[in-house]
Structure formats: C-alpha cells, structure tokens
Amino acid sequence: MSLDRRTFLKAAAAAPCIFGLREIFAQEPDARPEWFKQALARMKERKLHGMVVIAPRSEEEQLALGRQLWDLLEGDFPEVHELLLTSVFVVMTPAIAEASGVRKADEKEDRFLLDPEGKRIAADIRDATAFDKAGGFVASFAPILHGESGQRLKSRAEELGAAAPTAVFDALRELGADEIETRDQASAALLERAGELLPFYAWKRRTATDPEVAARLKSIVERHYLASKKDEFGPRLPFGTKIPKFAGGGCGGWREVGEGRKEGEVMVACGMAVIEEPKIRMFLRFLTK
C-alpha cells in the first residue's frame, strides 16, 4: 500500500496526538517517572503552579535536605504548609530532572517554576539556607511561587472566588462576628470546602484587615493540611520523595530498610553497652526512578 504526500502529512500530523511525539518521531520512550506525571496531572487539574526542587548529588547533602524537609513538613509552621497546599511541590534527583526534560545537563539552576500546564516559566539557584528555617523557606519560595506581590495567588483566588457559592462569602463575613458560636460555625463551614478553595482562603488571609478573620483562616488552612495523608503524594509528602522504613532485630538496634532488603530482616551488631535506643531523626528519601 502506498500513500500520497497529502495523505502521509495528514497521518503524521495526527499521530502525535494518538501515540505521542517521543514514540513517533524520536523513537524514545517517555523517561518521566509515573509520579512526575501524576504531579503534572494534579497541577493541571487544580490549576496550581508546580515547584520543582533539584536535590543535591551527594548522599550526605541529600540526607541533610531530607531532614530539613521533614522538619518543615511535620513542624508547627502554618505559613510553610500554606505554600505547600497552594502549589504542587516536587523534588527530583539531578538524573531524573535531566531525563524528564526539566533541566538540561549543563544548567546550574536548582529550582524551577512550572505553570499549571507544566511549562517551565522561571528558574533560579535557591538560597543555600532556604530549607534551614520556616521563615527562610517562606521568604525564599513565596516570591517565586506566587510572585513578588502575590499576583499569581491572587489570580487563582479571584477565579475560585468568582465561582464560589454565596454561602462561602456569608461564612467569611461571619468569621468576624461578635458571637464566638457564630465564628465557630463559620470556620466549620469553610473547613468543609477547604480542599477546593485553598488558594482563595490563602489570599483572603493575606488581605484580611480583621485579625480574627486572618487567624481563623490560617487555622482552617492548617487544619486541612494536618488532615492530609502523610504517606501519599501531596502537601505532606512532596512528589518524588518517600518516607524511609526502619527495622530492628537482635542487638543491632534500628536501621533503615534499604532497597532489596526485607522489613523484618535482623541486623546484628553488638548492643550490650547500649542502655537506651537513640531516637531516630526522621528524614525523607528522594526517589531514583
């Protein structure tokens, strides 16, 4: 069977929509890990920007970053958690970032902002102390995520606000009511809708002139964060990370269960002089595939 030029061009134009450009023209498989595809899908679905952080190459530096991330995720840091709820946070090893097309091999930037469609719109080298403390994290990440004046957050908030039902605005007004019972009822009503309106609440908190309203919105956002699952990708577990498993046995104490090892495997080491098992300082690991 032969094809004329016009028929061939029509078929070629339609092929990428069906099979994908990589497979048709480059004959290269899609090297992006499944969890990154999930992150892109969430960005698009929720119309949130993505924040891709490139992890260091060395094991020692990765461990340090993993500990800092865990402390920020699990600590009492509502403003940090608000940023994680109003974006899609991704951490990639350098190899995966290059294989996925996020960063070129010769680029030095280690922080990339993606728009809700997954297009790279900004990149820079983050401050070395950005993960040290909650205040430094907010100061470093809020401007690139939401814009220097918060314009990206404002835009998404206005879009959500335009579609929000009247009951939401009634509850917002009642957050500053004189009666505490009315304020509590309003908080409960807003919490029920937090999953769909988080950028709207975050912007209202930032622009509230009533301290009571701002405090209650901050509490609503944080309560929603704490209700999120910590063992699934989302605000409490950035895409591209995992919570390591630990096991103990014999007199070897607790050890991390590495790749290819069974969770119940006994690890023997002399622990006769150990009076009390040291507390494990938790951290996140970064996925390598």
264: which 2 tokens? 């119940």
Give residue 255's pLDDT band: very low, low, confident or very high (50, 70, 90): low
Domain with CATH 3.40.30.10 in the chain: 33-147
In terms of Cβ atoms closer than 10 Å to its own Cβ (0-12, 13-18, 19+), residue 277 is exposed
Span 211-216, mean pLDDT?
A: 98
- In CATH terms, 33-147 corresponds, of 3.40.30.10, 3.40.1260.10, 3.40.50.2300, 3.10.129.10, to 3.40.30.10
Distance (Å) of CA 65 to CA 71, 98, 190, 254: 10, 20, 34, 21
For 64-78, what is each residue's pLDDT tens digit?
Answer: 999 999 999 999 999
What's the mean per-residue pLDDT of the chain? 87
Spatial contact of 136 and 175, defined as CB atoms under 8 Å apart: no
| Tally of CB atoms within 10 A around 166 | 7
As a whole number of Å, the end-to-end CA separation of the chain is 42
DSSP 215-252: HHHHHHHHHHHHHS-SSSSBTTB-BTEEPPPEEE-TTS
Span 196-205, mean pLDDT?
A: 98
Spatial contact of 267 and 249, defined as CB atoms under 8 Å apart: yes
Q: How many CA atoms lie within 13 A of 20 on its CB side?
A: 8
233: which 2 tokens? 């990708």
Residue 88 pairs in a beta bridge with: 50
281: which 2 tokens? 């300082």
Spatial contact of 241 and 36, defined as CB atoms under 8 Å apart: no
For 223-246, what is each residue's pLDDT tens digit?
Answer: 999 999 999 999 999 999 999 987
pLDDT at 261 over 60: no
Torsion of CA 101, 104, 110, 115, to 10 degrees: -40
Spatial contact of 119 and 44, defined as CB atoms under 8 Å apart: no
For 158-179, what is each residue's pLDDT tens digit?
Answer: 999 999 999 999 999 999 999 9
137-141: Cβ within 8 A, 24+ apart = 137/72, 137/77, 137/80, 137/83, 138/79, 138/80, 138/83, 141/51, 141/83
Axis crossing angle, helix 211-227 with helix 180-192, rounded to the nearest 10: 40
Give residue 275's pLDDT band: very low, low, confident or very high (50, 70, 90): very low
4: which 2 tokens? 């004329």
Torsion of CA 131, 132, 133, 139, to 10 degrees: -50
Spatial contact of 280 and 246, defined as CB atoms under 8 Å apart: yes
